[in-house]
Amino acid sequence: MKRGIALLCAALLLTTGARAVEVSAPSAILMEKETGTVLFAKDEHKQLEPASVTKVMTLLLTMEAVDSGQLKYDDMVTASAHACSMGGSQIWLKENEQLSVSDMLKAVCVVSANDCAVALAETVAGSEDAFVERMNRRAAELGMRDTTFQNATGLPAAGHVTSAYDIALMSRELILNHPDIRQYTTIWMDTLRNGESQLVNTNRLVRFYEGATGLKTGSTDSALYCLSATAEREGMELIAVIMKGATSAQRFEDAQALLSHGFASYALRKIVPDQALPPVPVELGAQATVQPVPGEGGTLLLEKAKAGNLTQSVALEESVPAPVALGDRLGTLTVTSGEETVAEIPLLAGEEVPRVTYGQMFLRLLRTACLAG
């Protein structure tokens, strides 16, 4: 509970200046990947059509299948009649044509191929309908409360809606836990079918914005222009989501404004102790000491003005009674910027130390007596 309140307070502090940048889109958000902190928000829970940004979830489920061993990049995917009937953005798959999982992923990431998205969905779950059930179940697991998916592509469908906030959540899950997706989302130009099919990324930030890492564009007549844009600089990766942009150019301008604001204003710092932490004595323990290790909270998102002047202090218990459980609190690592405390990181027992048994105690006494004699 206390940790939740602390994180909430940190988020409130960080978002105090969140409106220092403006975007023209009616709904947008800027999120930092490691901590999930929201740095900018504008009507971020408004339910809107996501168009092909839907495919972030399609990519997430496919990458989860790859990373779990269900699929391999070189597995061949056979295009069904249903997949070939999608229309919209596509690479014009022919029924029964085969491409590798890797090539299908490339086509989805680079040119937003609807036919390949459905082919992957059918391969992962057996049918697009079954895959959509998984999409909605995964969305619920991620806390995407504004979202209902009706298909794997984002083609217009009644009730197919999400929000900028939910898109940021699924984008974060994809890039945080499946970084291999970058091998596709960072492609600017490439080919398929032995060079016969030319691909140019629909996300122009990949070519023109420093540090761009992806992620997915989308547009339809009703959704207008949407984008989940990711970029990394100096070890910090940001996610900017734009919904219902008036023009294609405007969505990229809005995303670039958010990303540049984030990189100019914030920095990510991974805190490790300045010096080796001394062991803590254990009273009546099976061993004499227990080694403290830093707990959660060692990754800090800070305003740049505070990030460059950090100092540490360590407070440890003089001793602790046995038994000691793994993860028991032994002290605190306090991080300050000037006079301000910016983090209190718990120092925890890195191992279990059971209470000494009577037999062990007797042997200790006997050993002591022998040494004294």
- Model confidence pLDDT, tens digit, residues 222-249: 999 999 999 999 999 999 999 999 999 9
Q: What is the pLDDT of residue 97?
A: 98
User: For residue 298, is pLDDT > 50?
Assistant: yes
- Model confidence pLDDT, tens digit, residues 20-29: 799 999 999 9
Q: What is the pLDDT of residue 4?
A: 44
Considering only 103-117, 169-183, 245-259, 331-345, which range has the smallest mean pLDDT? 331-345
Contact in structure between 253 and 286 (CB atoms under 8 Å): no
What the block records as the tokens of 49 is: 């059509």
Q: What is the DSSP letter of 355?
A: B
Residue 150 CA: distances (Å) to CA of 167, 200, 219, 354:
15, 27, 16, 54
State how far Cα 308 lies from the chain centre: 25
**CA–CA separation, 191 and 283 (whole Å):** 67
Half-sphere exposure of 259 (CA within 13 A, CB side): 28
CB atoms within 10 A of CB 39: 24
Considering only 35-49, 150-164, 198-212, 288-302, which range has the smallest mean pLDDT? 288-302
User: For residue 50, is pLDDT > 80?
Assistant: yes
For residue 184, the one-letter residue type is: Y
Tell me the pairing of strands 27-32 and 38-42.
antiparallel
Residue 113 region by backbone torsions, left for phi larger than 0, else alpha for psi between -120 and 50, else beta? beta
- Model confidence pLDDT, tens digit, residues 149-173: 999 999 999 999 999 999 999 999 9
- Model confidence pLDDT, tens digit, residues 60-117: 999 999 999 999 999 999 999 999 999 999 999 999 999 999 999 999 999 999 999 9
| Residue 289 burial (C-beta neighbours within 10 Å; 0-12, 13-18, 19+) | middle
- Model confidence pLDDT, tens digit, residues 262-286: 999 999 999 999 899 999 999 999 9
User: Active-site residues: which are they?
Assistant: 52, 55, 112
Vertex 170 angle, CA 226 and 75, to 5°: 100
Query: pLDDT-derived band of residue 17, with 50, 70 and 90 as boundaries?
Result: very low
User: For residue 349, is pLDDT > 90?
Assistant: yes
Residue 159 region by backbone torsions, left for phi larger than 0, else alpha for psi between -120 and 50, else beta? left
What the block records as the tokens of 163 is: 């929000």
**CA–CA separation, 259 and 240 (whole Å):** 6
Summarize the confidence of residues 196-212 as an average pLDDT.
Answer: 96
User: For residue 16, is pLDDT > 50?
Assistant: no
Asked whether this chain's domains 17-266 and 280-357 adopt the same fold, the reply is no
Residue 85 region by backbone torsions, left for phi larger than 0, else alpha for psi between -120 and 50, else beta? alpha
pTM of the shown model: 0.87
Looking up tokens 């609190």 gives 329
User: For residue 368, is pLDDT > 80?
Assistant: no
Map residue 339 onto helix, strand or coil.
coil
User: For residue 15, is pLDDT > 50?
Assistant: no
What the block records as the tokens of 330 is: 């032994």
User: For residue 147, is pLDDT > 80?
Assistant: yes
Residue 141 region by backbone torsions, left for phi larger than 0, else alpha for psi between -120 and 50, else beta? alpha
User: For residue 148, is pLDDT > 60?
Assistant: yes
Nearest to 58 by CA among 86, 28, 92, 96: 86
Query: pLDDT-derived band of residue 19, with 50, 70 and 90 as boundaries?
Result: low
CATH architecture classification, 280-357: Sandwich (2.60)
Query: pLDDT-derived band of residue 360, with 50, 70 and 90 as boundaries?
Result: low
What does the domain layout of the chain look like in residue ranges?
17-266, 280-357
Reported as type and span, the H/E element at residue 170 is helix 164-177
Contact in structure between 181 and 73 (CB atoms under 8 Å): no
User: For residue 14, is pLDDT > 60?
Assistant: no
Task: Quote the mean pLDDT of the chain.
Answer: 92
Q: What is the DSSP letter of 19?
A: G
Contact in structure between 250 and 225 (CB atoms under 8 Å): yes
Domain 17-266: state its class: alpha beta
CA end-to-end span of the chain, whole Å? 55
Cβ contacts of 365 within 8 Å, gap of 6 or more: none
**CA–CA separation, 256 and 245 (whole Å):** 13
Residue 336 CA: distances (Å) to CA of 4, 278, 284, 308, 339:
20, 21, 35, 11, 7
Q: What is the pLDDT of residue 307?
A: 87
